[in-house]
Amino acid sequence: MKNILYEIIILFALFTESIAAQNTQIKGFENVDASVTSDTTTRNHFALGQFDLFITSQITDKVSFLSETVFLYYNNGFKIGIERAIINYHFKDYFNLSVGKLYSPLGYWNNAFHHGLVLQPTITRPKIVSEGTSGGGLPLEDLGAQLNGDGITKINFGYNLMIGNGIASTPTNDFNESKSMCLNLHAEPIENLKFYISGYADNIPKGTTTIQGVKTTQNINLQILNASIAYRDGKLPIELIGEFYNLRTMEPDSNNSASSNGYFLYFSYKIRKINLIPYVYYDRLLLDTNDPLFFKNNIASIAFGLRYVIHPLSAIKLEYKYSETGLIKYQNRIELQFAIGF
């Protein structure tokens, strides 16, 4: 018994030492929201945000790991989702390999802000880059392999090329032979001013449940094109993010096609002395009536907000949003969010 105890102590010591050598960091994000709305179908309420468990590990100088596990309340119960699980191998600045479940390298917002809402400049995400459960429809995550590089030439040119299972898949299987492809090209010609163009292509077989939960009745070829601009962390006390997405679908069996657009523009001014950031953003989703991937719900909204940054990992946001949607005509909503990282 004594020997077993010694062995356990030695194993524990070795295990903790190896963790220290690997520099493993366990962090988390959480937020609590309160909202008042003019929508009669929803009551004014408090809401617990997603609990995000964020783990990174620098295993060797070239091998690293990142995972993000989210606990959220959905459909009458707490659900656990592995949002990201990525193994990286860093060959050179301009050539790295990532495998696992990644955020699709579409645009800027999708990779810069996701579940850790303390980092996100607004309370709600723009509709086009929202999760399917919140009205979005883009394949924000994918499982596969990605080549990426940065710091190419003086304009800091970079690229991400991802091959994945695509929409018709589970974390362990793919429902069709064809793979999704996503390419993101970006550059920073002026310090902190970034430009992105990206594209995505996937074949979705008949009978697939799409991101929004629509069941497809035919085979669909999906193409997404994007252009984005972002200015953040610069000398000027402003932030600017603008993104445009075009989604084209083609049903080869019936020759039906559709083209939908989504775009948003975010602008803020930093009052540095008091860590207060007033912001405004306009958000638009224009869906083609023939679009087979979405529930038809066009949206136009404008939001005015204030973000008070207590600490880089602690922020309070207050946001007023006016929305016009296909389903509930118009809505006024005031939301308060206390978001932290730890």
Partner 1 sequence: MIKIRKYFIVPFITLLSGIIICFKTNVPEHTSVAVIISNDNPIAFKDNPSLSAGEVKAYYLRKIKKRWPETNQNILPADRLKTCPEQKLFYSKILNMNANDVDTYFIEKHYESGEELPHKFVSDKEIVDFVGDEIGAIGYVNVNSLSSEAKAKVKTVLLINE
List residues binding partner 1 (CB under 8 A). Answer: 23, 25, 54, 56, 58, 61-62, 64-66, 86, 88, 90, 92-93, 111-112, 116, 119, 150-151, 156, 233, 235, 272, 275, 309, 311-313, 341
Q: How far is the CB of 54 from partner 1 (least distance, A)?
A: 7
DSSP state of 3: H
Structure token pair of residue 173: 């299987």
- Nearest-CA neighbor of 211 among 312, 293, 88, 324? 293
Q: Which is nearer to partner 1, 36 or 55 (CB)?
A: 55
Q: How many CA atoms lie within 13 A of 31 on its CB side?
A: 25
CB of 332 to partner 1, least distance (A): 31
Question: Nearest-CA neighbor of 244 among 201, 202, 199?
Answer: 199
Least distance from C-beta 87 to partner 1, angstroms? 10
Smallest distance from the beta carbon of 185 to partner 1, in angstroms? 16
Minimum Å gap between C-beta 137 and partner 1 is 23
Rounded to the nearest whole angstrom, what is the least distance from the CB of residue 218 to partner 1 in the complex? 37
Nearer to partner 1, 45 or 62 (CB): 62
> For residue 273, what is the DSSP state?
G
Q: Would you say 121 or 135 has its CB closer to partner 1?
A: 121
Q: Which is nearer to partner 1, 58 or 221 (CB)?
A: 58
Residue 134 phi, psi dihedral angles, 5° rounding: -110, 15
Q: Count other C-beta atoms under 10 Å from residue 250's C-beta.
A: 17
Nearer to partner 1, 87 or 201 (CB): 87
Contact partners, residue 1, CB within 8 Å, separation at least 6 = none
Nearest CA-CA partner of 157 in 94, 212, 201: 94
Chain centroid offset of residue 148 CA? 18
Residue nearer to partner 1 on the CB measure, 27 or 248: 27
The C-alpha torsion from 182 through 188 and 193 to 196, rounded to 10°, is: -20
